[in-house]
A and B are shown apart, each in its own frame.
Chain A
Amino acid sequence: MKIVIINYGAGNIQSIKFAIQRLGFDAILSDNISEIEQADKVIFPGVGEASSAMRKLKATGLNTIIPKLTQPVLGICLGMQLMCNYSEEGSTSGLGIFNAEVVKFDKKLKVPQIGWNQIKNLSTNLFKGIKENEYMYLVHSYYVPLNKNAIATTEYGIEYASALQKDNFYGVQFHPEKSSISGEKIIKNFLELSHENYTRN
């Protein structure tokens, strides 16, 4: 299996590569368009600020390539947020894969949300074998409100979408690569996805 982690200079991608290695697979870091297109699985990471990350994607043309991918794609953290229509962070448009807008947490809360919180209302094979209310590690100041693409939700002040899915595109707000054994299980589930099991359970 060829696994590509999109390398566009946005954050901590080494940890994702290592997590995949712990599962017995290997992943390559690449910004090469044909390499990304030919991969069996694509991981779209991201840590940092939305508008500058979007600029980096535009500079390499990846912003037009990613939405056209047909294999399973997993956006992580900022990666997931960039797959939405728009983000309040730096007032930037996104890749438009998920019909949702990314907004900032209420000022009354401690922002960023940092730490372990629960995921529930789990749907799709991405969460196969993961129990409701499992803990995942999250670090973020902006969030995606509940919407029809939500396949997991989390509560922080309000209930929001902590994972999204549409066709072959998946996104998780939490960091599965940093979420202990259950997080690794979610990465494994993603690597085991095939065209037949995109549909919701």
Chain B
Amino acid sequence: MLTKRIVPCLDIKNGRTVKGINFVDLRDAGDPVELAEIYAKKGADELVFLDITATEQKRKTLIDLVLKVAEKVNIPFTVGGGISSVEDVELLLNSGADKVSINSSAVKNPQLISDLASKFGSQCIVVAIDAKQIDGEWMVHLVGGKVPTEIKLFDWVKKVEQLGAGEILFTSMDHDGTKNGFANEALAYLSELVNIPIIASGGAGKIQHFTDVFLKGKADAALAASVFHFKEIEINNLKKELKKNNIPIRL
């Protein structure tokens, strides 16, 4: 049976992990490769690297990182952050990334999704969407949720699927950072609306939230960062608990 996925997300700046990371068994808390290896050993199903570097050397440092991760890590990983062209994606995939995630660039140029899907296949194109509710309506936001758009989340998700996205990474800006649980109602609706896998993001605080996001939110995968980085939740414990709740999980 296809299992639900647990996906730690690492924020990367200039080739180093950012946000505090609290791992006693980590020799270098800023080394994304070492952290990725630890997560793979603990049972993470895949990894996401989100590059927030804003310098001109961005591309080169990111490619170096992707090569190092591919060399050491034996589970799949997605790379996102500022990817805006077919050339960017080609370089990342050729360096060993399994999937790429595009966000603002897809909103600005939806054609990019179909260009990427036809060249590389839908299976490696993740469209990340940040949204929050405005007057009861889920609206797409850009720049990490800071800039609102006129685009309705559910319209955009439908369009993204039609253009050839292989997966949706949905972050609820209303839930992100709250540690109060995922946006299960919106997630469940999304899951019915489209026929491609949904990765849920934003709101993980405790194990119960993951149980809920799979049972109530009907998500295919759940992404989280700080609860894993600060060891508030251990991936192997989390997966055992999910299994106890009859959620299909790889142990």
Q: Give A contacts to B, CB under 8 Å.
A: 11-12, 14-15, 18-19, 21-22, 47-49, 107, 109-118, 135, 137, 139-141, 155-156, 175, 177-181, 183-184
Closest to A135 in B: B250
Query: Using Cβ atoms and an 8 Å threshold, which residues of chain A touch B195?
Result: 107, 109-111
- Smallest Cβ distance from A173 to chain B, in angstroms? 12
Query: Using Cβ atoms and an 8 Å threshold, which residues of chain A touch B130?
Result: none
Q: Is the CB of A112 within 8 A of B122?
A: yes
- Smallest Cβ distance from B171 to chain A, in angstroms? 18
Q: Give B contacts to A, CB under 8 Å.
A: 1-5, 40, 45-46, 67, 70-72, 74-76, 93-98, 118-124, 166-167, 195-197, 220-221, 250
18 more CB-based (< 8 A) A-B contacts, given A11-B120, A178-B74, A184-B74 = A11-B121, A12-B96, A18-B71, A18-B96, A22-B72, A47-B120, A49-B118, A110-B220, A114-B166, A115-B3, A116-B2, A135-B3, A137-B46, A137-B75, A139-B76, A141-B123, A178-B76, A181-B74
The winner among B71, B76, B122, B124 for most chain A CB atoms within 10 A is B76
The winner among B2, B75, B93, B120 for most chain A CB atoms within 10 A is B2
Query: Using Cβ atoms and an 8 Å threshold, which residues of chain B touch A118?
Result: 1
Closest 4 CB pairs of A and B: A14-B96, A135-B250, A116-B250, A48-B121
Query: Using Cβ atoms and an 8 Å threshold, which residues of chain B touch A48?
Result: 119-121
The winner among A115, A135, A139, A178 for most chain B CB atoms within 10 A is A115
Main secondary structure of the interface of A (DSSP, over half): mixed
Query: Using Cβ atoms and an 8 Å threshold, which residues of chain A touch B124?
Result: 12, 47, 139
Per the bound structure, the CA–CA distance linking A178 and B220 in Å amounts to 19
Residues A175 and B74 in contact in the complex (CB < 8 Å), given A115-B3, A118-B1: no
Closest to A109 in B: B195
Query: Using Cβ atoms and an 8 Å threshold, which residues of chain A touch B118?
Result: 49
Q: Which residue of A15, A18, A114, A156 is within 8 Å of B123 (Cβ)? A: A114
Closest to B198 in A: A110
Between A and B, 5 residue pairs with Cβ closer than 8 Å are A112-B197, A117-B1, A139-B166, A140-B123, A177-B74
Query: Using Cβ atoms and an 8 Å threshold, which residues of chain B touch A155?
Result: 1
Query: Using Cβ atoms and an 8 Å threshold, which residues of chain A touch B3?
Result: 115-117, 135
Closest to A19 in B: B74
Q: Is the CB of B74 within 8 A of A183?
A: yes
Query: Using Cβ atoms and an 8 Å threshold, which residues of chain A touch B96?
Result: 12, 14-15, 18
Q: Which residue of B67, B74, B94, B122 is within 8 Å of A22 (Cβ)? A: B74
Q: Which residue of B1, B95, B123 is within 8 Å of A112 (Cβ)? A: B123
Q: Is the CB of B2 within 8 A of A156?
A: yes
Query: Using Cβ atoms and an 8 Å threshold, which residues of chain B touch A15?
Result: 70, 96, 98
- Smallest Cβ distance from A52 to chain B, in angstroms? 9
Query: Using Cβ atoms and an 8 Å threshold, which residues of chain A touch B220?
Result: 110, 114-115
Q: Which residue of B94, B123, B221 is within 8 Å of A139 (Cβ)? A: B123
The winner among B74, B119, B166, B196 for most chain A CB atoms within 10 A is B74
Q: Is the CB of A12 within 8 A of B121?
A: no
- Smallest Cβ distance from B188 to chain A, in angstroms? 14
Query: Using Cβ atoms and an 8 Å threshold, which residues of chain B touch A18?
Result: 70-72, 96
Closest to B40 in A: A180
Residues A14 and B122 in contact in the complex (CB < 8 Å), given A22-B74, A114-B166, A117-B2: no
Per the bound structure, the CA–CA distance linking A155 and B3 in Å amounts to 11
Closest to A117 in B: B2
Query: Using Cβ atoms and an 8 Å threshold, which residues of chain B touch A107?
Result: 195
Q: Is the CB of B71 within 8 A of A178?
A: no
- Smallest Cβ distance from A114 to chain B, in angstroms? 5
